[in-house]
Structure 1
Amino acid sequence: MKKETLDVYCRKQLGCTHDYQVDWECDRYHVGGKMFAMIGSDSKGKDILTLKCDPARADELREIYEGIIPGYHMNKTHWNSIYFDADIPEGLWERLIAHSHELVVQKLPKKVKLELQNIE
């Protein structure tokens, strides 16, 4: 997968804001002030996409796909990192980004959720 493609899809998520974290050398994507995705690299400089994930689904994905690992520098229960060269179906990338976004939106305060509904 290409960084540009992932960046575009992350930015398409409802209410997405983006910043670049200089200290981590990564692009971060937020909704309601909470991060749902991060594009960066591991300690060896290998490109990764890190996403929030339901814990049961996170474990299942790690078992099925070699290129999906526990979240790099994140909570290993709730985050997965996916190597750009992972052998996963193209549509799965988009579904996992949407899943991460939705998990974060579900935890936002009611007021923020209402503001997001007004964006639609």
Structure 2
Amino acid sequence: MNYEELKAYLLAKPFATLDFPFGDDVSVFKVKNKMFALVGTRNNVMMINLKCDPDEAAALCDIYSAITPGYHMDKKHWISLYFDGSVADSETMRLIDNSFNLVISKLSKKEQLSIRLLNHVT
């Protein structure tokens, strides 16, 4: 998955916006003004930070060398996925969906409903 494909997938989420609060080389994707993904590069490899359940995060870090605790993030609740070709695009999309759902689960019930109705998220 290249940056343009990744960006298109992230922005296809309901109410998703793109912001650059850390400079032009770090893309921050938000839903209702809450970050659910951050895309940048580290050691010349594209990476994405995603919110993740702590138990799943630990398991993912054990399974994939390309997934680590979140770089410059709360390492309990965020992971970094490096695009080195070892993680399938389908798994990357699943993790993005999970991050999006975790973030919207913390919004008000009214905001959650507006997103779920638009996205058919359950």
Alignment TM-score, normalising by the size of structure 2: 0.88
Letter in 2 for 1:50: N
> 1:7 offset after TM fit, Å?
0.7
1:101 match: secondary structure: helix
Q: In structure 2, give the amino acid aligned to 1:5.
A: E
Q: Is residue 68–residue 86 contact of structure 1 (8 Å, CA) maintained in 2?
A: no
1:111 corresponds in structure 2 to 110
The answer for the alignment partner of 1:65 in structure 2 is 64
State how 1:1-120 maps to structure 2 within 5 Å.
1-23=1-23, 25-42=25-42, 44-117=43-116, 119-120=118-119
Unmatched 5+ residue regions in structure 2? none
DSSP 3-state at the match of 2:20: strand
Q: Contact (CA 8 Å) 2:45, 2:84: kept in 1 or not?
A: no
Does the 8 Å CA contact 1:28/1:37 hold for their aligned counterparts?
Answer: yes
Deviation at 1:114, TM superposition (A): 3.1
Would you say how many aligned residue pairs link Structure 1 and Structure 2?
A: 119
Residues 40 and 48 in structure 2, CA contact (< 8 A), matched pair in contact too: yes
Q: Which moved more, 1:8-17 or 1:99-108?
A: 8-17
Identical residues among aligned pairs (%): 38
Unpaired segments ≥5 residues, structure 1 = none
Seen in structure 2, the aligned counterparts of structure 1 residues 108 and 8 have a Cα distance that, compared at 3 Å, is same
Structure with bigger RCO (C-alpha 8 Å, 6+ apart): 1
Contact 1:50–1:79 (CA<8 Å) still a contact in 2? yes
Greater shift in the superposed pair: 16-25 or 99-108:
16-25
TM-superposed CA distance for 1:63, in Å, is 0.4
Cα distance in structure 1, aligned partners of 2:98 and 2:106:
13
CA RMSD of superposed structures (Å): 1.7
CA separation of 1:118/1:89 partners in 2, compared to 1, >3 Å: closer, same or farther?
A: closer
State the TM-score, normalized to the length of structure 1: 0.89
